[in-house]
Amino acid sequence: MSKFLIHLVLIICLACNHPESNNFSRDKKSNKEVATNSEKEEVNKLDMEIENGVRYVWIEVNGIRLRFIFDTGASNICISPIEASVLYRQGTLKKEDIISTQYFQDATGRISEGTKINLRLIKIGNIELENVEATVIDNVNAPLLLGQTVLERFGSIQIDNDNNVIILK
């Protein structure tokens, strides 16, 4: 009986499309399996705007287009209370999307308080990501940061400085 249960659990685990599986599509829109190696891999290119050495990209958050700093060093996607307020007034951020209070360390080393929220839909180029955790920084002057909670959902990220594009696969 015990061996039967072990085999059953193994079969179930091996048969599922877990997010860490290579066959899982991170494109929640279609939720189909990723194309095999023989099929053409879809390339997602984001145009970069560079100002004073800082790379900016435009993405949609819950249907609203916003300009983010492309920040591979940021652990989360971060927005200010102003953007959170706009999302709330538009009805795309609801009370049930507020998760908890969050403490984080900023680039200066200071510990700050923020609010962890759920962003229901983020569109980056032609890719849509659902239910991405983000942090609302308690500072109206805080920049919008596109950090690891989004970037880690891609298999590879390439910065093409010659053409001012970021390639996400």
Would you say the pTM of this structure is higher than 0.75?
Answer: no
Distance (Å, whole) CA 133 – CA 17: 22
Residue 30: its H or E element: none
Q: Report d(CA 56, CA 50) in Å as an integer.
A: 6
**Whether domain 44-168 has CATH 2.40.70.10:** yes
User: Distance of alpha carbon 151 from its chain centroid, rounded?
Assistant: 6
CA distance 158 to 165: 8
What are 98's two structure tokens?
A: 């507020």
Q: What does the pLDDT look like over 32-45, one tens digit per residue?
A: 333 333 334 567 89
- Please name the residue that has the structure tokens 């839909």: 121
Instruction: Summarize pLDDT for 153-168 with one digit per residue, the tens.
Output: 998 999 999 999 999 9
